[in-house]
Chains A and B, each alone.
Chain A
């Protein structure tokens, strides 16, 4: 469905030349939850930006539903690591931004935005400024903003990276529920191996600089995952060990 074909990326700045990705190929299947896991600086964000059309690959191409991807696609939504809610807009107006870009009339826009906020449990704060929300609520708004456009693919760049463990686990369950309810394809970047195992159908391991995909694992656990103790599951523990061994670092170093 979303095919990454021999993608490479080089950043050229006056000071230096950074090869962020080399020869990365993998296919995201329709409806699956796929995570990218790897140490800092191995090009995960770069690849996600390329998938969203925010950056062009220096080599290779992205094929989405049989067509080469050029620029930003209507069917792909993005949840930023830094969220970047616009402080001069209310929560609801932030969720409306993509709808405005599509020229949707105001009344319909409002309804669609409120519906997206309802999905993440935030319709009560639709009219407050975003900076009055907690970090976890802000990240939910970031998710609602992408969901409002009903994307076929949702790209999420370490969305829970800044949050405390408690909020993080709540949001993991919420995103897992949203995913099973909506059937959206999700590509999810994280540093957290447990988070990747809890959420994903498959995990792609990234390594090195330039970054490359060095292994792809199937997560062979039943859904829904929030109904049993994934962390204590023998298969999950084994998979965790194997990922950490493969990446050649201990979890503490990875984070």
Chain B
């Protein structure tokens, strides 16, 4: 039974349903805008003010170099972390010894709220871009690692039987069965890890040394420029949105079978 058949009993509500999210956003924005007529602009500003400030940040060009700094850290630290996470996960999934040796550390570090190691990272590499990169790397590593491992552990028994029945060697089994079968888990891991990389980027820019978007957030906050502050907040949200869209795009373009096979299961 389709979702529409369960939820929308009358045709009129059915037709309105797709508009509901847009309407909800419009109402919230409207109330927020209206609140500007009696609340101090320093508290939460207003949507039009924030939009103006956002445009101005770009028009005056102040946003470009912080944005570039942030992006550079995010891309380098995040992608190294994700690649290392996948590689370690594959090694742990493939070799039991590696798994036995690493799993206590992996589980401990994954359970640790890693913001607490910022002082340690600074002690190691000093207050520098390297410290921020290292922190992003360390915070990114774990989810994708654990997801890769889980994906390799949860390969459909039937696929493994096929590999065994048709005589694949262990290396062939890894390349032709286990890894492709783990791709949906790995992609989910990448999405989670990339989300953490964004958090890591902002946090390290606020806590290690003031640069990038973190610098703008702290400066505008301290100066009570709430409109500009929220414009930068909005930009950070766009990083998260871009992450989700990017992973969706990767899945749809390179692994269309994931959606296809799921639809076939019914």
User: If the complex has contacts A72-B164, A72-B167, A98-B166, are A84 and B261 also in contact, measured as CB distance less than 8 A?
Assistant: no
Closest-CB distance, A25 to chain B (whole angstroms) = 24
Nearest residue in A to B256 (C-beta to C-beta)? A129
Q: Which of A78, A88, A145, A149 has the most CB of B within 10 A?
A: A88
* B contact residues around A74 at 8 Å (CB): 167
**CB within 8 Å of A: which of B123-164?**
156, 158-159, 161-164
Pick from A78, A80, A97, A131: contact of B260, CB below 8 A. A131
Q: Per-residue 0/1 for B238-266: is the Cβ within 8 Å of any A Cβ (1 yes, 0 no)?
A: 00000000000000000111101101100
Closest-CB distance, B158 to chain A (whole angstroms) = 4
Binds A, one of B9-17, B82-90, B172-180: B172-180
* A contact residues around B260 at 8 Å (CB): 87, 129, 131-132
* A contact residues around B159 at 8 Å (CB): 84, 86
* A contact residues around B2 at 8 Å (CB): none
User: If the complex has contacts A87-B261, A97-B176, A100-B172, are A80 and B161 also in contact, measured as CB distance less than 8 A?
Assistant: yes
A101 at the interface (CB under 8 A from B): yes
B223 at the interface (CB under 8 A from A): no
* B contact residues around A78 at 8 Å (CB): 165
How many of chain A's residues touch chain B, expressed as a range? 20 to 34
Grouping DSSP codes into helix (H, G, I), strand (E, B) and loop, the B interface class, with mixed when no group exceeds half, is helix
- Could you tell me the distance between the alpha carbons of A166 and B35 in the complex, rounded to whole angstroms? 68
Q: Are B168 and A80 in contact (CB under 8 A)?
A: no
User: If the complex has contacts A87-B257, A97-B176, are A80 and B158 also in contact, measured as CB distance less than 8 A?
Assistant: yes
User: If the complex has contacts A88-B180, A100-B172, A131-B263, are A80 and B162 also in contact, measured as CB distance less than 8 A?
Assistant: yes
**CB within 8 Å of B: which of A86-125?**
86-88, 97-98, 100-102
**CB within 8 Å of A: which of B173-209?**
176-177, 180-181, 183
Q: 15 pairs across A/B with beta carbons < 8 Å?
A: A54-B161, A54-B165, A78-B165, A86-B177, A86-B180, A87-B264, A88-B183, A97-B162, A97-B168, A98-B166, A100-B176, A101-B166, A101-B167, A129-B257, A131-B263
Nearest residue in B to A93 (C-beta to C-beta)? B176
Q: Per-residue 0/1 for A110-154: is the Cβ within 8 Å of any B Cβ (1 yes, 0 no)?
A: 000000000000000000010110000000000001000100000
Pick from B156, B168, B183, B257: contact of A101, CB below 8 A. B168
A56 at the interface (CB under 8 A from B): no
B40 at the interface (CB under 8 A from A): no
Closest-CB distance, A15 to chain B (whole angstroms) = 17
Q: Are A101 and B261 in contact (CB under 8 A)?
A: no
Q: Please list the 10 inter-chain residue pairs (A to B) with the smallest Cβ-Cβ separation, ordered nearest first.
A: A87-B261, A84-B158, A131-B264, A98-B166, A101-B167, A87-B257, A78-B165, A88-B180, A131-B260, A88-B257
Known: A78-B165, A87-B258, A101-B168; 18 extra A-B contacts, CB below 8 A, are: A54-B161, A72-B167, A80-B158, A80-B161, A80-B162, A82-B158, A84-B156, A86-B177, A87-B257, A87-B264, A97-B163, A97-B166, A98-B166, A98-B167, A100-B176, A129-B257, A131-B257, A145-B166
B169 at the interface (CB under 8 A from A): yes
Number of interface residues of B (CB under 8 A): 26
Nearest residue in B to A131 (C-beta to C-beta)? B264
* B contact residues around A87 at 8 Å (CB): 257-258, 260-261, 264
* B contact residues around A102 at 8 Å (CB): 167
- Could you tell me the distance between the alpha carbons of A88 and B167 in the complex, rounded to whole angstroms? 19
A52 at the interface (CB under 8 A from B): yes
* B contact residues around A52 at 8 Å (CB): 165
Closest-CB distance, A102 to chain B (whole angstroms) = 7
* B contact residues around A82 at 8 Å (CB): 158
* B contact residues around A54 at 8 Å (CB): 161, 164-165
* B contact residues around A101 at 8 Å (CB): 166-169, 172
* B contact residues around A132 at 8 Å (CB): 260, 264
Q: Which of A54, A86, A98, A129 has the most CB of B within 10 A?
A: A86
* A contact residues around B166 at 8 Å (CB): 97-98, 101, 145, 149
Q: Per-residue 0/1 for A204-233: is the Cβ within 8 Å of any B Cβ (1 yes, 0 no)?
A: 000000000000000000000000000000
Nearest residue in A to B183 (C-beta to C-beta)? A88
Nearest residue in A to B172 (C-beta to C-beta)? A101
User: If the complex has contacts A101-B172, A102-B167, are A84 and B257 also in contact, measured as CB distance less than 8 A?
Assistant: no
Q: Which of A80, A129, A131, A132 has the most CB of B within 10 A?
A: A131
* A contact residues around B176 at 8 Å (CB): 86, 97, 100
- Could you tell me the distance between the alpha carbons of A131 and B255 in the complex, rounded to whole angstroms? 13
